[in-house]
Structure 1
């Protein structure tokens, strides 16, 4: 794996873990997502205009179609995940989604983008996926509605794999600037959640009053985390990037144990080490 690509993904994982920590601390719902998505759209607008003016990207029907398609797939992912959390069991939906997402991303990359999966890459990716599954809680036999929970988890994983490969094609083959691709997703999310935010406007004001610094951190770091991943995918195969992104899960759960007192630190450290070993195998398996 190219060292520059690994560096971008590691930086993205740190950004992802940090904004997720703020989300946990604020403990908001859809109204919080609308708030930071809207603020992100405003903060990144000057950068968007600069990219359009400086890079003058070619935007034909195909580029426009893929940008809109990316926004729709990301929205589908968000809706599927939220529905799964409401109608299924979080202890099943989350680990299944996190484990199947990178697995399917790598598989789709081989099938759709023609990437090559070597045996060391497959071993490294498999170790990461299994480690993430266990770190996220594993499959629990006593979960409520296990069949529907598994269905939602798998469906969410399919959407993760789909948008990863779709976006990789958009930024690496169609040369859509990563910032533009991510910006379209932010705008779409803000528009979709506007009615909910209006109904919960008192909560929106409360989040902004009590957690302004945290909301601003999320608004900056949430898009940045995925923009860095998108830039990495412009020159690094998805089969490397997708599993390595899961290091953000390690950082998130360790931060939860250490900073938020969620417990199980030894368990999380052990499986975090497994994921790091898998990442090392993956990183050393190619150029």
Structure 2
């Protein structure tokens, strides 16, 4: 992988970890919070999204189809992620999800896109996935076997991550969509699709905005930004390499679970982090 791709993936991982930590620290969830964050993302990225679509001369009907499906998948992801955080520790749900997702993504990128990463790259991907699983299984306040809800949600979210990653990567590579324009459209349709649910309780919506406005701004800006950067990386390097490499965010979230939320087993978290970083090094050398 080139230094540019590594830099993109690293920046995206920091942004991705930051908004996940913001959600956990805010202690909030639900359609109102999500809808408000979608408003922020749709407004902030509107000029960039429109410019990229016009500049690329995109077929709007083709863009509409790709963006609507992407938006629906992303809404399902956000809902499951928030519910998973309520049911289990962030350092169980998040690492397992981020391990299952890239594992499936690598397999299906090879099948669907004909990618053929070398042995060093595959070894690096395998180490990243192993590292996030180690971090996840060490992360709960109770033993992993007793944290079944967190493990279940982590695995289900991982499958959904693979689905939307493959869909969006195909849109910006095979489909020729600009990364900014595609994901701005996805956020816009997330906002529109969730509007009936988000507006159901306007009093509750106002209370959420007043109490959690900082988290709403962080998620609204950083979640789209992180993913747009990953889509740019997909246009420069194989999906089977970028998808595992971006999981360096697991290291940051796992350590944050220990430092900020007092979740246990720091030694095992550090071992998992070391395995992930070794895998990233192999991916960088491939």
TM-score interval, normalised by the smaller of the two chains: 0.7 to 0.9
Q: What is the match of residue 195 of structure 2?
A: 194
| Mapped partners of 2:204, 2:167: distance in 1 | 35
- 1:24, CA displacement in angstroms? 1.8
Contact 1:57 1:176 in 2 (8 A): no
- 1:177, CA displacement in angstroms? 1.1
Q: What is the match of residue 157 of structure 1?
A: 158
Q: What is the match of residue 115 of structure 2?
A: 115
| Mapped partners of 2:129, 2:235: distance in 1 | 23
Deviation digits for residues 215-254 of structure 1 (CA, Å, limit 9, x no counterpart)? 2222111110000000010111111111111111211222
Any gaps of 5 or more consecutive residues in structure 1? none
Matched, 1:130 2:130: yes
- 1:13, CA displacement in angstroms? 0.5
Range moving further from structure 2, 65-74 or 178-187? 65-74
Q: What is the match of residue 252 of structure 1?
A: 253
Matched, 1:169 2:173: no
- 1:277, CA displacement in angstroms? 0.9
Q: What is the match of residue 50 of structure 1?
A: 51
Q: What is the match of residue 16 of structure 2?
A: 16
Contact 2:12 2:225 in 1 (8 A): yes
Range moving further from structure 2, 158-167 or 12-21? 158-167
Q: Secondary structure at the match of 1:128?
A: helix
- 1:194, CA displacement in angstroms? 2.8
| Mapped partners of 1:97, 1:236: distance in 2 | 23
Matched, 1:140 2:141: no
| Mapped partners of 2:215, 2:266: distance in 1 | 25
Range moving further from structure 2, 184-193 or 25-34? 184-193
Q: What is the match of residue 283 of structure 2?
A: 282
Range moving further from structure 2, 214-223 or 76-85? 76-85
Q: Secondary structure at the match of 2:198?
A: helix
Contact 2:95 2:133 in 1 (8 A): yes
Contact 1:34 1:190 in 2 (8 A): yes
| Mapped partners of 2:147, 2:256: distance in 1 | 25
- 1:19, CA displacement in angstroms? 1.6
| Mapped partners of 1:257, 1:83: distance in 2 | 20
Closer, same or farther: CA 250–202 of 1 in aligned 2, 3 Å: farther
The TM-score, its normalising length taken from structure 1, stands at 0.85
Any gaps of 5 or more consecutive residues in structure 2? none
| Mapped partners of 1:266, 1:214: distance in 2 | 30
Aligned residues: 280
